Amino acid sequence: PVPRGYLGLGFGTVCALVAARNSAWRSFLMAKPVPYVTLAVIAACYGFGAYFPDDVLPYLGISATAALLIGSLWLNKDSPVSRILGWKPISALGRLTYGLYLIHVLVINVVTVAMMKLDLPMSWPVVFCISYAGAVAAAFALHIVLEQPLIAVGRKIAGRVAGRTSRMATAPAQP
């Protein structure tokens, strides 16, 4: 089976390539209702996935529809949905997505075990809310402690490599 992430990347790539070459597709993506419809479909797919977690179809639906949403937002930077997603608290959460991706399962497991040990009633909305808050806090800590310092190191290395490459490109050829 093909991992869902690759299908999502594939949907996004196809959407971008078709939009670059086809004005009708670009016009479709620029239509005002597209961001709202895609958000509704994504929400419905998440809801369906919550009730049928082993079914791959909701996640494929999210991948395909997210590609349409991203394309639509890219072409409609002034749309209300773009402005909402550009709001500082939402943008800050967006910068934490990699850390959230890395840590969310661990946080869910910790919350679930802690709730069982404390004999607290478990329902998925409660586990979700506590886990989400914990994952955001953990991702923020990862962002400050690991991501930012390592990004700075990467930029220094890239700057040195770029400097060497440009010096090599401008150096006179040796006979």
Helix or strand (DSSP H, E) at 116:
helix 97-117
pLDDT of residue 5: 63
Q: Check if the beta carbon of residue 79 is closer than 8 Å to that of residue 32.
A: yes
Q: Is the pTM of this model over 0.75?
A: no
Question: Tens of pLDDT along 43-62?
Answer: 999 899 888 878 888 888 88
Closest CA to 96 of 128, 62, 137, 63: 137
Query: What's the CA gap between 71 and 43, in Å, rounded?
Result: 18
Residues 6+ apart with CB under 8 A from 168: none
The DSSP 8-state label assigned to residue 1 in this structure reads: -
CA distances from 16 to 10, 13, 78, 81 (A): 10, 5, 19, 19
Question: Tens of pLDDT along 133-159?
Answer: 999 999 999 999 999 999 999 999 998
pLDDT of residue 115: 95
Instruction: With a cut of 60, say whether residue 169 has pLDDT above it.
Output: no
Instruction: With a cut of 80, say whether residue 64 has pLDDT above it.
Output: yes
Residues 6+ apart with CB under 8 A from 111: 127, 130, 131, 134
Residues 24-37 have a mean pLDDT of: 90
Instruction: With a cut of 80, say whether residue 8 has pLDDT above it.
Output: no
